[in-house]
Amino acid sequence: MTTHSLHVGATQLVVNTASGVPEITWLGTPLHANLDLLTTLQERPIANASISVMAPASLLPTEADGWVGAPGIEGSRADGSAWSPRFVVDDVAEEAGVLTITSIDEIAGLQLVSRLELTPSGVVTIAVNLSNVGTTDYSLNALRLTVPVGDAITEVVVPEGRWVHEYHEVRLPWRAGAIEQVNRRGRTSHDKPPWITAGTAGFTNQTGTVWGAHLGWSGNAAIRAEVLTDGRRVLQLGEVLLASELTLSPGETYDSPIAYVATSNDGNNGLSQAFHRFVRARSQHDQIKSARPVHMNTWEAVYFNHDLEILKNLADRAAEVGAERYVLDDGWFHGRRLDNAGLGDWWVDQAVWPNGLEPLITHVTGLGMEFGIWVEPEMVNPDSELYRNHPDWAFGVPGYEKVLGRDQLVLDLTNDDAYAYIFEHLDALLADHDISYVKWDMNRDHTQAASGSRAATRAQTLAVYRLIDELRARHPGVEIESCSSGGGRADLGILDRTDRVWASDSNDALERQRIQRGFLRWFPPELMGAHVGPEISHTSGRRLTLGFRGTTALFGHFGIEWNIGDASPEDRKQLASIVETHKSHRDLLHTGTMWHMDTVDPALVAFGVVSSDQTEALYSVAQLEIARYGTPERLQLLGLDAEKQYSVNLISLADTKLGMAVKQPKWVTESISGVDGATLLTYGVQLPCLDPESAILLHVTPVAP
C-alpha cells in the first residue's frame, strides 16, 4: 500500500509514498473516497514534449525522478557522485496522527526519515532527517521541504519590512515561474521572515482557499513558491546553507528545521486560527499564563541614564498605574555607558551600581512587581574586557578586517570556551538576583560568520538554541523574550524556547497597527510585546494621542515604555485607566479566537477577539488615515453566535474623541442591547466618523434570554 491517510478532528492528510519519498496529495476537509479511488482521481496526464513520467511533488523532489523544479536535495560526495539520489521506501510507521517513512538510496549511500504529524489544530508539522550511510563524506548544499498546493492557488502574500517597519504584507500574482524570499542575515530578519501565504484569486480575511507555510528556524532561510510548466504549484521551505557549511561524515545526520503547514477554506482567518490553536496547544505554552504581567520597560524612559533614584521613582509611578513587571533595559553592566562598549562583560557595573542591583530589585519587588533585565549574549563590543582578552572569540574570516555593525561583532558561540564563558555569567546573573524575566536581544546581522575559516551561521543558531535551553533548564521559572532589533527574530523555532516576542522597536501606534496585523497572522496576541510609548514617538517623531497609543497596545502582551516619572498627573491617571481596561479584558484577549475583518476603506483596520464560548468579544477599529468616504462603512462583527442576543458598547480610552460629524449614530452614546448575533454577523454595526490616527473599542456582551 502506497497511500496513507491521517484523520484528526476536521482535517485529513493523505500521503503517497510510491516514489520512495512521501508526497502530500491532500490536506483539508475529509474526503469520502477510498484511498485506491483517490489515487486514480489524482493521476495526471503527461503532455507532449515531456518526459514519460510525472515526477512526484514529494517532500524532497529529485532530478533522478524527473523533477525539473528546484530539487529537494542538493549535495554530493567529493568525487561528484550522489548528487541526484532516488529513494525507495524501507519502512512506514503510523501512530496517533504521526506518519514516519524511512527511505533509502543504497547507491548514493543516503537514508531519509520523514515525519509528518497532523495536529488537532489542523497544522501539519513536517521534518526530515538525512543520514550519510555511505563510507565517505557527503556535502549538503540545500534541503527544501516541498508542499504541493491546488491548481487554483494563484496569488501569494509575502512579508517585507525593515527595522521599525516589520511584517508588512505584499500580495503578488503567481502565474508562472518562481517567487523566492532568501534571507542570509543570520537571524529570522525584519525583511524576509520565513513564512508565506498562498490562496485563490482575491482571497481575503473572510473568503477564499488559503495555504500557509512557516519554517521554524531562526537562521538563514529561503521560502520559494514555484509554478511548473505542467501547472503544478509548490511551496518550498528550507534552511540556507553557506558554502561548505555542512558536511556529513559517515554515520552523521542532518535534522531539518520543522515546516508548519495549514490550509483553510475560510480565508486568512481560518489559517491564522489554526496556527494560534497550534501554538497554544504546545507544552511550552503552559508557562504562559493568561494573566500576562503588565510591563514597565525602562529603555525609552531613561536610556543609559542609570540613576538609582530616578529608576526607583519610575518604579513608584509604574506601580501606581498598575504595572506588574519592571524591566531594566540595557546600561547596567560593566562599561556600558553608551551602545558602543561593554557587550560581553556581563557583570554589574560597580561605577554606576556601587551596591549592585539589589537596592533597585528590592524596591521593585517591594512594590509588588517582578523584576526583569536586558541582555545581548550573542554579541561583543571591541571596547570590552572580553574582546581585549579574547579577540579570537568573535566571528571573522582570517586575514580580513572584521566588519562592525552597531560597533559590535558576533560572539562565536560555537567556540566551547566562549560558550562556557557566556553561560557561566548568565547563570550567575540569574542565580544571584531575583530576576523573573530576561529580554534577550540580538542587534546585528551575521557578516563574515566564520568559526575559524569555516562558515558557521547554522552552528551558531543551534548554539543559541542550546544556550537558551540550558539556561531555562537551570532557571525554569524565568521567562525569556525574543528581541532582535525589535521583530528580527520571530519564528516557531525561537518560540520553542521563549515566551514573548518584541514585535518591533517602534512604539509608534500608527506604524504598530500594521506591524501587529502581520505578526498576528501567525502568532497569538499573548506572545506579542506591545507597549504604550511616549506622546512623540522616538523612532518616527510622530505625535499621537494617549488613547490611540493605549488602544493599539491593548491586544498584545501589554506594557509601558515611557518616562511616566515626568508625565503629568492627568496622563498617569488616564494611563492607569488604560492598564485597568487591559487587565479586565486580558483573559479574553489572550485565550479567545481572533478575527480580522475585511474593510472597504484600506485605511480602516478592524479586528477582534471572541471568547471560546462566544459570550463576549472585544473589537478594535482604527482609522489610520483620513477616511476614503465621508460616511464610514458598516462593520460585520465576526465570530459571534448567530443564535445569541448581545449588547454592543463603545469604549473610548483616555483622550480618544470621535471625528467631526453633524450627527453620529445613536448607539455610540446609548449602546445597542438585545440584538441577535446573526444581525451583527451579517448586517453589522454602522461605524461612527473617526479622525485619522484614532481608534475605538467595541465591547460585546451577552443579554440574558
Query: Any idea what the CATH number is for the domain that residue 460 is in?
Result: 3.20.20.70
Residue 539 has pLDDT above 70, yes or no: yes
Rounded CA gap, 522 and 213, in Å? 10
Q: What is the mean pLDDT of residues 148-157?
A: 96
* Active site members: 441, 505
Residue 43 has pLDDT above 90, yes or no: no
What pLDDT score does 290 carry? 66
Residue 649 belongs to domain spanning: 594-702
Domain co-membership, 271 together with 310 = no
What pLDDT score does 92 carry? 96
Q: Is residue 404 within 8 Å of 382, Cβ to Cβ? A: yes
Domain co-membership, 528 together with 602 = no
Q: How many domains does the chain have?
A: 3
Report residue 394 as a C-alpha cell: 568573535
pTM, whole model, 2 decimals? 0.97
Residue 657 has pLDDT above 90, yes or no: no
563, 585, 607 - which closes a domain: 585
Return the bridge partners of 409, or none.
380
Domain co-membership, 391 together with 486 = yes
Cell 509601558 identifies what position? Answer: 560
- The per-residue pLDDT for range 159-215, each reduced to its tens digit, is 999 999 999 999 999 998 999 999 999 999 999 999 999 999 999 999 999 999 999
Mean pLDDT of the chain: 95
Where residue 641 sits, what CATH number does that domain have?
Answer: 2.60.40.1180
Q: What is the mean pLDDT of residues 624-650?
A: 95
Domain co-membership, 216 together with 71 = yes
Domain co-membership, 267 together with 294 = no
Domain co-membership, 261 together with 312 = no
- Give the pLDDT band (50/70/90) at residue 242: very high
Q: What is the mean pLDDT of residues 472-496?
A: 97
585, 607, 622 - which closes a domain: 585
585, 608, 623 - which closes a domain: 585
Q: Is residue 126 within 8 Å of 59, Cβ to Cβ? A: yes
Domain co-membership, 537 together with 605 = no
Residue 41 has pLDDT above 80, yes or no: no
- The per-residue pLDDT for range 410-461, each reduced to its tens digit, is 999 999 999 999 999 999 999 999 999 999 999 999 999 999 999 999 999 9
What pLDDT score does 39 carry? 77
Domain co-membership, 154 together with 198 = yes
| Eight-class DSSP state of 348 | B
Residue 44 has pLDDT above 90, yes or no: no
Domain co-membership, 568 together with 627 = no
- Give the pLDDT band (50/70/90) at residue 334: very high
Percentage of residues of the chain with pLDDT beyond 70: 100
Domain co-membership, 517 together with 423 = yes
What pLDDT score does 32 carry? 83
Domain co-membership, 223 together with 335 = no
Domain co-membership, 324 together with 231 = no
* Rounded-to-10 torsion of CA 88, 94, 98, 103: -10
Residue 289 has pLDDT above 80, yes or no: no
Rounded CA gap, 302 and 102, in Å? 57
Where residue 17 sits, what CATH number does that domain have?
Answer: 2.70.98.60
